[in-house]
Every structure is written in C-alpha cells, then in structure tokens.
Structure 1
C-alpha cells in the first residue's frame, strides 16, 4: 500500500474508533432518565488536606460528590443538559459541567450547597473543561464549533470565544494561568492560547493521520503531554516554550486521559474505552515503566492531595470510581456512582512538590531542542 494510503487508513481507524466512542456516549446519554429530585442537601464539609472528588456520569446525567476518606457518595446532583466532563474552582466553590453531545450548555454547580445554580451558553457540543489554578477562569472546548469558550467564574459568563482546530476535546491550563493547551481531535494538532490576550499564538502539528485526545502540563509548565493515535497510540511530549514536539512515547494499552505527578516524574495514561489499564510513563527515561489494571475500565483520571492517591472513572457501561495508591499502584477500593462515569476532578488540586531524589526529569527531555524519535 502506498505511504499516503497507509497514513489515511490509520487515521480513519483512529478517528473511527473515537467516533464510535462518542456515538456510544451520546446514545447512552440520550436514553438515560433524569433522576428524581432530592431533598435539600446539607452543605458538604471538607478538611484542606482531604480530597473531595467529583465524578461526571455521562449516561446518568449526574455528578457524584465523593468523600474520599470513607469512600462514599455524599451527594448526587442531576444535570439534565448532560455531564461530559467536570472541572472545579475551589476559589469560587463551583463545579463546571459541559453538556456534551446535543448541548450548548455548561451547568454550574455550587459545591457547598450541592445544587445547580446556573447555566452558561457556550458553543455546540461542549466536551472538555479546565479551570485555572487560581479559579478565576474556566475554559470549555466546543467540539462541533471548533472553539474554546472562556468563562469568568466570578460572573459565570463567557468573556471570550477563541477559534481553534477541528473537534477540540481535551485541554489544560498552564500552572501560571498564562497558556491554555487544546487537543484538536480531528485536525491532529494542539492549539496554544495566550490566556491574557485571548488568542491562539501557536499551533503544534502532531503528524499526518494523528488524532489528539487529551493534554496535561508538567508542574513547571515547560512540557505538555498529549495523548494521540495514528494506528499506534502514544503520548507526544511538547516543548511549551518552543511549541515543538520533542518526542513520542508508544503506549500499547491505549492512550486517552492523562494526569501528571506533582513532582513531574511520572505521567499516568488511561487506556480508555473498553480497556482496564493505566500506563505509567517515567519522564526521566521517556518510556512506559509499568502499568496496572483498574477493574471495570480506565477512562478519566485525577490525582489527589500531594499525588498520593489517584481516582479513576471507569467509563461507559460501568458505575464505579476506583481509588489507587500511587506509591504501590494498588487498587484500594471503589465507590458506586452514576452510570457511565467518564471524568473525575478533585477540588484539592495537587500542588507542585520538589522532585523525587534521582528522577532527573530534565535529563531526557531538554526543552529548546528536538530529540530523536520526534515525529
């Protein structure tokens, strides 16, 4: 087969797989009945050193509030417009929930009162959300519009709309809030938004036939990791200063959602739809060092306080949030949530910590220059 035909074929396989996943999620969500109303909730209480996790249940159209100490659901909030993802502003005590398929709405949940307090009109098919570390801005990808909505969390209103690539999905905000990185699924690229000026300042192409799913940023902001696929799934490593690809790490189990350890030494990669693996990339070596199984599936990922515990949403066809000890990669337990848990967010976002002794993270990927293996 000619090289161009081969590239086109691998792209069709990768994109076709994602379309099947998205279609399955849309069908499941459209057939779900909205849960009955609940009594007035008691305001949740939280210790600063305790994680409060939130799970977006796509099929059930709900958000589950998790007490991660005793591993129970404390509240379930109905989100009739849809729950494709969830992002949390600790500063504003708000959770932002994009509706996903057949929606143009982001629902706003008061996390103290555990109820929906507003809806924000955005673009077509809002899929992903990321909140700046200071909690002042929420960014939402509008897949069918090819845009990102910038939300002022103080007023819960869209203050800017930025055009990006085709079918934007995952996104991440740099630690200093100055840049937003957007994974464009169908154009195989990452758009870099200057958050202060509200416009795209760079576009990083990931290679012909590549689909980009999710993105995460290192604690020091110098590297971005993008889960991608072109027949073989891998994680691309980007130099954020030069806006170039440094390397690509093959991930045989699959590559969808990402989470970076607070010290930057490891990147966790969920295998996604139909799989039960989380792969762990050693950022010093630039390879997958190990993987572990998550019973029920591995879709959305979030790290808790100091990165000691990971929370995993198990995906379509499941009803579980799983707790993993990141020191041992051992599953510590699970909690039953709503059907189709696709995403999880933690209010006590892990802060950067000093690198672990011997990690040498900067040895393998030196920013400002390309490494061998770059696509």
Structure 2
C-alpha cells in the first residue's frame, strides 16, 4: 500500500491480521494520524524512530507482535499520546527517561517484553496516568520513592514478574484512586507499609511471592472495597489482625506460606462473601471458631500444615457451598463430625496427619486423599 496517497488519513487500524513484515517507514508520512493500531500481527524489526513525525497521534498500539530492539527515545515528541501499548513483543534495554515527558499519557503498557533497568515511573509529569502495566520484564530497581507524587490519578498498577527489590515506598499511600495493585513475584522486602490503609478504593491487592516481613498492619481493615487479597509466600509473621473482619466484600483471601501465628480471629465470621480462604503452611494454633459456619459462600477452605489443636467444629457442616476442605497436618482431636455429611458439593476432603479418633461417619460419601 502506498501510504503517500492517503495524506488526510487520521485513523489506521490493521489489528488482528497476519501481517508479517517490518513496519513500513511510509507510515511516518501520515502526519494527520491520531490513531494507529497494528496490534496482534506478526510484525518484525524495530519500532522506527521516524514515528516521532506523527505528532498528532493520540493512540499508538503495536502490542502482540515480534518487534525487537529498544524503545526509541524519539517517542518523547508524541506529546499528544493518550495511550502507548507495546506489550507482548521482544523489546529490550532500558526505557528512555523521555517517556516521562508524555504528560497527556493515560495508559502505558510495556508488559511481556525483555525491558530492563529502572522502573520508568519517576521522571516527568504523569499526572493524567490512569493505568500502568510493566509486568513480566526484567526491571531491576527499587520502586521509585517518589512514585506517589507523580501518578496521582493512577487506578491500575501492575509490576509483577520483575526483579524489583527494596521496600514498598510509603508514598504508595497517595494513590487514593488505585483499585488494582499487583507487585507479586518480585524481590521486595521489609514491612507492608501502614500507608497502604489509605488506598480505600482498592479492590485487588496482590503482593504474593516476595520477601515481605513483619506483621499484617491493622490498617488493612480500612480497605473495605477489597475483593481479592493475596499475601501468600512471604515472610509475614504475627497474628491475623481482627480488623480483617471489616473487609466484607472480600471473596478471595490467601495468606498461605508465611509465619503467621496465634488463632484465626473470630471476626472472620463477617466475611460472608468469601469464596476462597487459604491459610495453610503457617503456625496458626488454637481452635477453629464455630462461627466459621457463617461463611456460607465458601467454596475452598485450606487450613493444612498449621498447629490447630481442637476438634472440628460442628458448624463446619453449615458450609453448604464447600467443594474442597483441607485440614491435614494439624493437631486436630476428637471425631469427624457427622455434620460434614451435609456438604453435598464436597468432592475433596483431607484430614490426614492429625489425632482424630472414632470412625468415619456413614453419611460422609467423599474420597479421602
């Protein structure tokens, strides 16, 4: 196609085809373009620096191709960009600091590349930024300490699957519009900052697979919009704060693989929307509260590999939606209650490695593993 014959073109969308060439340089002559979408093809080669000529561009989407090389610093000239999507390519090297000059940018997508160096969120004026996805790259830096100052409108931040290290900065508490925060699979350490309690719009908090330590702050109870909380596979100790009972919209709670101690707080009875509760591989002790029967939405409950040392509560038979129950490797005593036979949806029950006595109830028709 001879793009030079289309001088008035403002929108060009070739997405979801099977284009397999390099990006033609003639595209750079379309000076009136405001929308360029070449995503989900098989384009190869580098992103041409001459794209800087498209100064009216508002949307640039080249995600889902085989583009390699580095991100050209000339992108700084596209000051009208609202959205920049380069995800799912083979880009490498550091992100140019000049990206911070794109002051109109609302969406930045660099996920699933081979980018490295510093997280490109500190420089410039990015006050309009709504969504940032830098996941699954090779960024090796701390999260910038000034991050909360620049990204005041941010609603979505995904930095998972990198090699970020250091503390979670306290200024992250300035993200009052944030609904989704994913920092899993990095090398972050130190305490979950108290300022995280300021993120009252947050619905999804994922910090799993880091090296976070200290206790879960009671301020977690301020996040009353949370539906998903995942802190698994860290080094968190102390007790589960009673304030977790404030999270009445929570449907997924995973604290497995930490060093939590003490008993499961009775306030967990308030989490009536909870479908998944994973507390295994900790050091929890004491009894399972009979009020666990309030959690009628539970589908999956795992408390295995703890130190729980009382009887299985009869009220566990009220969990009518339960499909999987793992109480193995604790210090449970007494008999298996016949009330568990009321769990008609249960297909997985594991109670091995306890001190249970008596016989298996006749009405319990599940296969033990």
Same fold? TM cut 0.5: no
- Whose strand proportion is higher, 1 or 2? 1
Structure label with greater radius of gyration: 2
- Name the TM tier (shorter chain): under 0.3
Name which structure has the greater RCO, CA cutoff 8 Å, separation 6+.
1
Q: Normalised by the size of structure 1, how large is the TM-score?
A: 0.25
More helix by share: 2
Normalised to the residue count of structure 2, the TM-score between the two structures is 0.25
